[in-house]
Amino acid sequence: MEFQFMSLEETKSETKLYGNIYLFDLFFIFVFFCISAIFGNIVSSGLKMPYYIYSLVCALWLTSKSRTNRRRRNYEALILFLRRDMDVYKAEMNVSMKLESEADNEEE
């Protein structure tokens, strides 16, 4: 008798309200806009409308799916980027290889 097992890729499910709009997205945008409203008191009256529009665009971008990490939202990818360990990986130039521009300069 052969057993077959199914493995789940992800056990987390989000509450979808409509289309691509999730409950957490609305909550995040609401909290973000409340914080923006608190800081809006120190913004000049002539710049309040552009400030609120910019805040709304930022909130929408932060809750959208990340292009570089499909399973995460932009705010999650941004947090991972800021918390990365700089000592783990550091790109270094291969010393044995010369740049073409340096090689051309030496030939002349």
Residue 4 lies in a domain: no
Ordered per-residue pLDDT tens for the chain, 108 residues: 577 777 666 666 777 777 777 888 889 889 999 999 999 999 999 999 999 999 999 999 998 888 887 788 899 888 888 887 777 766 666 666 666 556 666 665
Residue 51 lies in a domain: yes
Residue 6 lies in a domain: no
- Give me the pLDDT at residue 93, please: 65
- The CA distance from 105 to 108, in Å, is 5
Residue 80 lies in a domain: yes
Residue 67 lies in a domain: yes
- The CA distance from 14 to 21, in Å, is 10
List helix spans (H) across the chain: 23-39, 48-63, 74-82, 100-107
Q: Total domain count for the chain?
A: 1
Residue 46 lies in a domain: yes
pTM given for the model: 0.62
- Give me the pLDDT at residue 44, please: 92
Please name every residue paired with 80 in a beta bridge, in sequence order, or none if there are none: none
Q: Look at the block and give the residue holding tokens 């290889």.
A: 97
On whether the CB atoms of residues 75 and 62 are closer than 8 A, the answer is: yes
Domain region containing 91: 16-107
